[in-house]
Amino acid sequence: MLRNTRWIGRTWPVLALAAVLFTPAALHAEAVEQLLIATMRSMAAAMTEIDKFGKAAGDQPLPVDSARKVVVLAKTIPGIFPPGSELEELPSKFDAPTTTWDDFERFLDAQKKLVVETSKLFAVVNGGDKEAIARQMTVTRQACAACHEKFRN
């Protein structure tokens, strides 16, 4: 169990540095765009790896690293969408309406729900129960979709 928590000590300094470097003052629209794309693609790839495990026959290595990545990335989402980050200058493909910042607390609530669900996913992946993983994957996807439905035009 201790082995699975060591990453926290190594990860938080990187996340703290990223929070400083990726502040609204430091980011231009293009950098926000690239960070957004990289984050969402990384989350999607990690979710795909977890999904493959759940559907694979026989014994497979647990996708713990993928589950951990999903939790870490879910926690970084507010840093990608800070108020005043010039998202209006991004290409329209992201469709992030300015109302996101009119109700930023609702946005943060949705993100917190995602963190809760990704944390549960991490726990069930560590347990290795494929049925539990499949159930939690569904709930986690719903948490992802809820944010996309609320905060995209």
Model confidence pLDDT, tens digit, residues 73-126: 999 988 887 665 545 555 555 555 666 667 778 888 999 999 999 999 999 999
Domains of the chain, by residue range, sit at 25-82+92-151
- DSSP secondary structure string, 3-15? GGGHHHHHHHHHH
CATH class of the region 25-82+92-151:
mainly alpha
How many whole angstroms separate alpha carbon 84 and alpha carbon 34?
17
Question: What's the predicted TM-score (pTM) here?
Answer: 0.73
